[in-house]
Chain A
């Protein structure tokens, strides 16, 4: 537990020393979303009908942007190898990395949701549904992405490869999340979707750290 807290504090400190690492994905998120009204035309009906999909794809891409850096800085200066050979638990270290990634890229996106909803002319229930679904899904994104990041640690242009590897796993999540938001905008009941997203989150929470740890061991162990 102490190692978990220590890793958490260390990673947060390292990330806050370079605020651009946190802000760049957020700015990317906002810029991508702003491109759509420019491309599609400003009509509110059209924008609110594509809003769930646009927000979701932008959130996915923004998360993936920061994903490949998860282990790379520790890999490059050798501290990843030190954790591996130390008697500290590697799954705990990986879990701390995932939590930090979620705190720094998932949570800001959730907080930005009301603003984005207003920009895209989404009404109240829609904004609620988008926020809740993003809150449920962003840990899943971090968890699944950590597997991709661990598999491609140290590779040049690893970011693109992470996207290719992890996208097939993200697709069911995307399908459920956009269906949930569209149902909410249409006035329907979303409890079923919430259960589905929670189930996927719990499944990833239990299995993804194992896969990511194994992948880290393999990637460092060349």
Chain B
């Protein structure tokens, strides 16, 4: 088991291992997303209060969940890089930052679209929305620092430190709806209690969350593979792979 993790740390074996999984992952993601979307859009009963506009929940909530957990994954990769100096962890951080930023942006936009018919406003400066906007700025900050430091030797470690400094925002986002009275509703899923929604509504939500995770990991792995080819472009195995294509 440990050997498997060890092999993930080498660019060449990561590239080869993921090359075998990638088609399967892509097919899985597309299937799950399409199934989830069709289920959510067509087969879920409309909410008694919100009517059909509740269906955007199935796009907004998974995006928001992934925005936060994406940052946690980035912070974990950053700490692995700082502690054990595994270069693949730095590649992981570099590749997840734009992905996390896009998903946070998606969560904010879909939240605004959902908010207009249900709350009457596109935006409100409450705790959850403001701290998710801060999360977007944190992602953008990491992208900006990486771009400013370009390809210097210390770029990876500087971005890793910034990622770890920003992780203090995550508990604030997650628990902001519990700590402050806000317009945004509390979390749909918790580890200890039954969801407040009926089964017909939370099953497709869980399904969409899993679909989003598959999609996230697929795109992350694709980006990492690309970055490996860029970083290792002097290596023999890269040249052979390119020629064989």
Contacts and interface: CB of A to CB of B under 8 A. Distances in A.
Given A151-B145, A175-B130, A169 B154 contact: no
A211 B165 contact: yes
Interface string B170-206: 0010000000000000000000000000000000000
B14 to A, nearest CB: 25
B100 interface: no
Contact of A167 (B137, B157, B158): B137
Given A161-B148, A171-B134, A218 B140 contact: no
A221 B144 contact: no
Shortest 4 CB-CB contacts between residues of A and residues of B: A168-B137, A218-B157, A168-B134, A165-B141
Given A215-B158, A219-B158, A222-B153, A147 B144 contact: no
A214 B79 CA distance: 13
Interface in B147-176: 148-149, 152-154, 157-158, 161-162, 164-166, 168-169, 172
Given A155-B149, A168-B134, A168-B137, 10 more contacts: A147-B165, A155-B148, A161-B148, A164-B141, A165-B141, A165-B144, A167-B137, A171-B130, A211-B165, A219-B158
B32 interface: no
Interface of A: 147, 151-152, 155, 158, 161, 164-165, 167-169, 171-172, 175, 203, 211, 214-215, 218-219, 221-222
Interface string B4-17: 00000000000000
Nearest to A155: B148
25 contacts: A147-B161, A151-B162, A152-B148, A155-B149, A158-B148, A161-B145, A161-B148, A167-B141, A168-B137, A168-B169, A169-B165, A169-B169, A171-B134, A203-B168, A211-B164, A211-B165, A215-B158, A218-B154, A218-B157, A218-B158, A219-B154, A221-B153, A221-B154, A222-B153, A222-B154
A213 to B, nearest CB: 10
Contact of A168 (B153, B161, B166): B166
Interface of B is mostly: helix
A214 B161 contact: yes
A161 B134 contact: no
Given A175-B130, A211-B161, A161 B154 contact: no
A59 B149 CA distance: 28
B33 interface: no
A164 B148 CA distance: 12
Nearest to A208: B165
B228 interface: no
B145 A165 contact: yes
Nearest to B156: A218
Contacts of B141: 164-165, 167-168
Interface string B120-148: 00000000001000110110110011001
Nearest to B159: A151
A218 B165 contact: no
Contacts of B172: 172
Q: Output the residue of A151, A172, A222 with the most chain B CB within 10 A.
A: A151
Nearest to A161: B148
Contacts of A151: 145, 158, 161-162
Contacts of B166: 168-169
A158 B168 CA distance: 24
Given A155-B149, A221-B154, A222-B154, A165 B162 contact: yes
A22 B204 CA distance: 59
Nearest to B150: A155
B134 A215 contact: no
Nearest to B165: A211
A25 B168 CA distance: 29
Contacts of A152: 145, 148
Contacts of B157: 218
